[in-house]
Structure 1
Amino acid sequence: MPAWIWLVAALGLAGAEALTGDLFLLMLSGGALAAAGAAVVFDWPIWADGAVFLVVSLLLLVGVRPALRRRMEAGQGLPEPAKALEGKGALVLSRVAQHEGQVKLDGEVWTARPLNDHDVFEPGDQVTVMHIDGATAVVYRAL
């Protein structure tokens, strides 16, 4: 089988992988690429190129794909913007009580409420963001 056919198969499988994202077709694409290389370097019969495709594809499926999937699934990625604000310090701009208040957090003004309903923070107080509840920063006295 000519090398260009294996190369077209490799590119087609890699393109199809972009639609699935499962890494299965990408491993088959690697096998087709190896078969294309074997067809160029060695003048083997077509069944030998097919054997190279089969062996390399199986090795990639068994050896590489599980490690790649684990790495992709366990990735930390970027934190959600709201999660990244938790634990940061903020400056109270207007009185923070159970149903009112604003703080300056990372250069932006946020509505705020205290973590404990009975707490009250006055303008100028330093507080710590405990978590973000929708568009409201839930704050506690600075630690």
Structure 2
Amino acid sequence: MEWFKDHAWETWTALAILLALAELLSLDLVLLMLAVGAGVGVLTALIGLPVAAQILAAVGAATAMLLFVRPGIVKRLHSGPELRLGHDALVGRQGVVVSEVSADAGQIKIGGELWTARPYDETVTIHEGARVDVFQIKGATAYVHPVPAIESDND
């Protein structure tokens, strides 16, 4: 125990490195959280706290990491990307008006495909060649809104 008191920060550092390396084999994030606890042990040893305080700080930090940090990280790592297929994949994309879009209907081109379209706001008429955002798809009809044009002042 006397040796540990004299070489506390080196021992904590070695333990942190060993746990981090072992994490590379397990990939479960438990050993990484324990390595963070050992890192806290290094810090407490460097500021000269007694061995009991170092152990308590390391155990407390490792426990906090396991309870509060690890679950969120694991959840993010295990959830895949949100896949949007079919009509849902078109919502949020932009298209070009092929024939005037009004409350009666019109046509737009989205990603090389022609779609029947109506304005999302029924009072709006969107002219041919305008860029539109797809807000919603109902059946085979895209509900769109014109993309605002940026106008510049040439003085």
So what's the TM-score if we normalise by structure 1?
A: 0.49
So what's the TM-score if we normalise by structure 2?
A: 0.46
